Structure 1
Amino acid sequence: MILEVAILQVIPGEEQNFEKSFAQASAIISGMKGYIQHELHKCMEEANKYILLVKWETLTDHTVGFRESPEYQEWKALLHHYYDPFPTVEHYELLYKSA
């Protein structure tokens, strides 16, 4: 399992529209091969800042399976115009988990 992490800076004033679009986009990503779970968190200190956490079975499920799919084009159309700057996406593997 890998964890995709993206810090999302949404254009100020577009937070509500982004959140509505994200709810639509959630149906897209959750149907992808290798998808496990995702969470969107809103920053308490900065109203236009979010963190997206997505669990995938493999890195390839995200970087190839999702990003090279027609569904990604739908995701992109729904969400990418809200970001400024465009987010950096990183991938992490679990090294330790508490009991």
Structure 2
Amino acid sequence: MLMPPHLFLGFSISEWLGIISIISILVGAFKTFLFNPIGDQLKDLSGAIQNLSDNSAKAHSDLEKKISKNHLDIERHDIEIDFLFDKNHLHRREKNEDGED
């Protein structure tokens, strides 16, 4: 006695396996063709942002060094100007004598 094929929602087990295989292939192709290029572009964008961040940090560091050097130059010039005023017996105005902060 032959048993009838097992059916679920009108499809046999072999038909369900075929449907699942086709859906899996379509989902895999969709994922490959849609998400992989986006992932590659996101990697490129991430690399560009990292390079920009590195360049910005280097520029910031360079500017901090220049500011520090200029501050030292200003202090040195201030000492030299004080020496010249003292040598010539002149009175140098204090920083707040001119009314500015």
Interval containing the TM-score (normalised by the shorter chain): under 0.3
Bigger proportion of residues as strand: 1
Structure with more of its chain in helix, by fraction: 2
Name which one, 1 or 2, has greater alpha-carbon Rg: 2
